[in-house]
Structure 1
């Protein structure tokens, strides 16, 4: 009888320890920092301030972005994504880290910022999965360290040109997207260039059809007419319709005064806005309009990147800028090593616009 009792106790203890072990496995989810910006994180991050945190129960730091404006009890602070880019959990308003554990996804690898969403919405989106919801820890507020955004928006003006192909090759090699503020594609070669830009997934934006100061700055209506011609030209050539543009010379240029007066750009801004257009200037410029640009000239971009949370870089794809491909490649590689990411200007968090000259 004693042997049966001992055997029964041993079995119960074995089951108990097994349950404890399983519970420990469930609670200690492996969360590690993401250094390579997986697809889910890359698509959603940078809408707010990036933050490093650590948890009492997790080896940190963990990278995520927090929505500071979200105070509703039924709303989340941020979503959690797994390696497949699927929703796997959230951090609630009490700073508790909640994990939705599924059979398909065993490891959670990143936190990402998101817009507000209700927990019921999150759970309903995972109705086809076996899931358990549990708390794995809480945010240690003492370990929060703010970090500024490190975003670069490469922009190229005054194409289409043959140099554009070399620039596209560098961008593809480095797996980044850029913005091209181009004038009208006036022949088959030009149409081929702009189609390649769209095909490669870059943003094809407007820079007026003619880039003729005398013509475009004659009046606000003349500017809009030339801009519309630029847009329709690209739409017919590529099927892509964009209403983002850059003023020739920027919004603070004074050359326009000679043709349409001191208020021509201010009035053009108002008129184009009423037709659904928006414009972007720049806050970084390597001064690449000279007759011959040395490669080292592009190093200015690296230095200027530290000036702003988001750098909109202006470059020109003139065929004479033979140093551009190598200079660009060096700039991209250097900034990547320094932790910068790249994007197109339609994803700017803060507008980059000059005050029009008076």
Structure 2
């Protein structure tokens, strides 16, 4: 059943791009709304200029603004001028649909910032084509901006990789010398205080070495040597490496693996590096809160035959403002000497090079890393 009053409230339909129509004539508003909804657009209708301005203030810019000129309270020309002060023509295309078709009115509309001008009575096909064209241009410009952003990020990462590789190589030798001398002095330590200080030095060198290794892994881009890999074996071996530490920390480790899993296409040691990194992160989270770590894997068939590994812990949730950035390079919430911000970035890169994906979800019920790997072809 159709709405008898097209101006009742904020009428929104469809699931496509959002078009705001400012039209005080109920019949014209109904025709415009149906025309655009049939094309898949999501439509909001404002019955006068004041309501249109309120919608723009409260909801921000729609994807396209369609204005009648002769609106009560605030004219379409005034709305056009005010909107253009806030959003440029690429961000917000503005179409004037009006019976005022004299040259002076057309000039005034474009001078106020209109993107296009359609006279009444209009042809539905023409109006829809003009709207489609403006929104297509808008989408292309947004895609171009995204591509430029990706290119800038790629160049930044390439430069960062070169820098990281050079710094890491230069640091390895002096770190080895410091560690060796500290260990020699530790064996000759005259008292426990001196020994403790030397152990602190060795520990600090070990942390620096881990940072160097992370930087080298970040800088290296070796092709993956794919072969048939039993994910269950990799997971069991990885958990085994940390099992004693987890047990002494009071963590309940639950390994839930089926008797048979299809083999995946991958590099055994690289996959272990990924699983180990996630396990260590879980250990650190569980040191703050929680006591359960669950490791599971299962075959899936859609969209392609794969194995999905999940590593879940009931530690504190990742804050919502942090979650979107945890795979970013050099992003870390750890103390200055505890992390480089490269671990999860490298992990996701490894999984992508395997033809899979890696994602995370986090909430009050815990945090889960999901890793999907393609099945090895028969």
TM range (shorter): under 0.3
Larger Rg: 2
Question: More helix per residue: 1 or 2?
Answer: 2
Greater RCO (CA < 8 Å, at least 6 residues apart): 1
Alignment TM-score, normalising by the size of structure 2:
0.20
Query: What is the TM-score when the length of structure 1 is the normalising length?
Result: 0.21
